[in-house]
Amino acid sequence: MPFDKTGTLTLGEPQVTDIVAVSDWTETAVLELAGSAEGRSNHPLAQAIAAHARLLGLSAASAQEVENLTGRGLRASVGGRWIWIGSKRCWWSRVWMFRLNYVKLLDNWKSRRKTVVFVGVEDRAVGLIGVADTVRPEAQTALQDLVRLGVRQTIMLSGDNPRSAATIANQLGVEGFKAGLMPEEKLIAVDELVAVHGLVGMVGDGVNDAPALAHATVGIALGTAKNDIALEAADIALMSADLCKLPFAVGLGQALRRITVQNL
């Protein structure tokens, strides 16, 4: 059974922990710019950055145009300038030299389970933001209950960097993980699991999980009151974000099948 990481195995309520500015930019200016661009996005990381900017009383300019780059980040027009925010994978051509200057810092962030968000203006990297999420307190118990119910394998599929994903996977005791995945790569991973195991239940909560949810034998959307796309793609919707509801749903399905077979 594959699981999404952010918002599924973690709380999906990340918080900004670090801000680094480059060149003649300041940390405040980087955060203000990022908060303006992220204000119209519903991604957990975007909401964390926008909320942190508001918490510090920074005035967010309205973004005139916003282009979501699924699984990569976004770009937005703010004050007549194009602002881009996302992972190194999306903006590698722009940030690779910048990244070389901060290798030790980035490695330190990743070792502490932080997601790195790059911020740029036009064709220039201006800063990076470290964001950390928290594992759901009930996640490990829920995974153990699923194994007791007969789930043969648990695997985590994440778009996050491999080091952060490995830390979460080890903490929860999942049997394997794949990191740095785009939405279409999550779909491929699910198809591969279906080819090997035959029956696969995918658990996710966001728009990035929708293709994988649709391709799984059973797509299970968690806490779908906040995401219509995941709800449409899934076969089962758990309206609560409590992961302990998942073993209950699996057990209920098993009981229903036993009763149906008995009646037949």
The residues carrying an active-site annotation are 4
- CA separation for the pair 31, 40 (Å, rounded): 15
CB-neighbour burial class of residue 260 (10 A; exposed 0-12, middle 13-18, buried 19+): exposed
Sign of CA dihedral 177, 238, 38, 74: positive
Residue carrying structure tokens 């036009």: 122
Alpha helices in the chain (DSSP H): 27-38, 44-55, 92-100, 103-111, 139-148, 162-172, 183-197, 210-215, 228-233, 245-263
Q: What is the CA radius of gyration of the chain?
A: 20
Report yes or no: 222 and 206 within 8 Å, Cβ to Cβ: no
Between strands 201-204 and 124-132, the pairing is unpaired
**Cα–Cα distances in Å, from 151 out to 3, 156, 221?**
13, 14, 18
